[in-house]
Amino acid sequence: MSIVEKAVEKLKNRQPEPPVSPAVEAAPAHSAPTIERLSGRTQAGDPPTEAAPPWHVDPVALERAGLLPAGDEANDRLADELRRIKQPLMDNAIGKGAKVLPHAGRIVVTSAVPGEGKSFTAMNLALSLAHEMDFDVLLVDGDIPKSHITRALGLEGHPGLMDVLVDERRQPAEVVVRTDVPNLLVVPVGRRHPLTTELFGSLRMEHVLEELGGRHLRRLVVFDSSPLLATPESQVLASHMGQVVMVVAAGCTGQHAVDSALQSLSDSQYVGLILNMSCLPASENYYNTYYGLYPRVHLAGEA
Ligand SMILES: Nc1ncnc2c1ncn2[C@@H]1O[C@H](COP(=O)(O)OP(=O)(O)OP(=O)(O)O)[C@@H](O)[C@H]1O
Ligand SMILES: [Mg+2]
């Protein structure tokens, strides 16, 4: 059983579907359930309005899209690897890391060049973090051109990050989709915009990020992104983050590319390198992944 299936199973056992109150207008079947704006509730801390059932995260669709490992064995191994990867990220988020980081609850998964395993890692990291007792997780699809996670979840066409960046009248919480994986929320890409880099660099972006994550004490916001050396917007996106998970496809990505990507990041950020063997062909254990989290000094050759 995959991580998602286990989580969905857990939710089913724990929370039987509540009866829909006749006072609450049912949302149209095609729209994703979103978290209502805090100020729209009677009191801060009220549970979100249950206007529609949570969005179904379909493990089969995710596996087909290459965002979940195939088979129980690969799944179990990945779960263990992710436990090691997420621990320092969580420690940093609650201030138990080596140093106090600004915006430590914001984590971007990125890489130097395309195809190194960012979306796969972001998806599985978010699912793994959602198992934690003390956090909820908001997975944001920040790879605007590819929108891999948005498409794999069937959320294309839904309002998302770009919509709240463009339209200041919209509340960021309007585009947060509640899923049927306990503790997992998602923000899709939304409608693409030609000025993505400028929007990512705007004051509005900082406000949106604050609304999505900053107000929530135990929330981790995980971003998928495009590669640092391929698009300018990915560097701007990364600059808002407290923690950067940099995926390096072992044996595929040259050290020069990795060094250049690391140089685009700030010294005040925590940067963890994940060595991902995903570029090996199937005959060489394609799914036999190996993740390791390294301090950036090891690869960048700093003292
Ligand atoms: N650790 C892994 N285990 C199994 N498969 C993996 C792993 N990492 C990546 N893959 C596979 O490698 C392919 C590329 O991964 P992914 O789409 O996550 O890369 P990406 O860096 O997001 O690419 P892009 O830059 O195009 O967005 C996918 O088919 C994915 O299933
Ligand atoms: Mg991707």
Where does residue 66 fall: left (phi above 0), alpha (psi -120 to 50 degrees), or beta otherwise?
left
Mean pLDDT across the chain, nearest whole number? 81
3-300 — its CATH code? 3.40.50.300
Given the CA of residue 66, which atom of ligand 1 is nearest to it? 31
**pLDDT at position 31:** 55
Distance 39 CA to ligand 2 centre (A): 34
Separation of alpha carbons 165 and 236, rounded Å = 14
pLDDT confidence band for 178 (50 / 70 / 90) = very high
pLDDT confidence band for 98 (50 / 70 / 90) = confident
Q: pLDDT tens digit string along 117-128? A: 999 999 999 999
pLDDT confidence band for 258 (50 / 70 / 90) = very high
Q: Which two tokens stand for residue 129?
A: 């973090």
Separation of alpha carbons 117 and 22, rounded Å = 45
Report which of residues 227 and 25 the model is more confident about. Answer: 227
Q: pLDDT tens digit string along 197-223? A: 999 999 999 999 999 998 788 999 999
pLDDT confidence band for 301 (50 / 70 / 90) = very low
**pLDDT at position 259:** 93
Report which of residues 220 and 1 the model is more confident about. Answer: 220
Determine whether 100 is exposed, middle or buried from the number of CB atoms within 10 Å of its CB (0-12, 13-18, 19+): exposed
Q: Residue 281 pLDDT > 80, yes or no?
A: no
Separation of alpha carbons 300 and 303, rounded Å = 9
**pLDDT at position 128:** 97
Given the CA of residue 146, which atom of ligand 1 is nearest to it? 27
Separation of alpha carbons 223 and 122, rounded Å = 7
**pLDDT at position 71:** 84
Mean pLDDT in residue range 18-25 = 31
pLDDT confidence band for 52 (50 / 70 / 90) = confident
Given the CA of residue 70, which atom of ligand 1 is nearest to it? 4
Q: Residue 84 pLDDT > 80, yes or no?
A: yes
The amino acid sitting at 288 is N
Q: pLDDT tens digit string along 128-176? A: 999 999 999 999 999 999 999 999 999 999 999 999 999 999 999 999 9
Torsion of CA 115, 116, 120, 125, to 10 degrees: -150
**pLDDT at position 297:** 35
Report which of residues 176 and 5 the model is more confident about. Answer: 176
Separation of alpha carbons 207 and 90, rounded Å = 23
Pocket test for ligand 1, best of 247, 278, 286, 288 (most atoms within 8 A of CB): 278
**pLDDT at position 296:** 43
Instruction: List C-alpha distances in Å: 244 to 113, 197, 223, 225.
Output: 15, 18, 10, 11
**pLDDT at position 253:** 87
Enumerate residues with CB within 5 Å of ligand 2 (an ion).
118-119, 148
Q: What is the 3-state secondary structure (H, E, C) of 177-239?
A: EEECCCCEEEECCCCCCCCHHHHHCCHHHHHHHHHHHHCCCCEEEEEEECCCCCCHHHHHHHH
- CB-defined site of ligand 1, < 6 Å: 66, 69, 111, 114-120, 143, 146, 148, 227, 276, 278, 287, 289
Half-sphere exposure of 192 (CA within 13 A, CB side): 9
Mean pLDDT in residue range 27-48 = 41
**pLDDT at position 115:** 93
Distance 12 CA to ligand 2 centre (A): 30
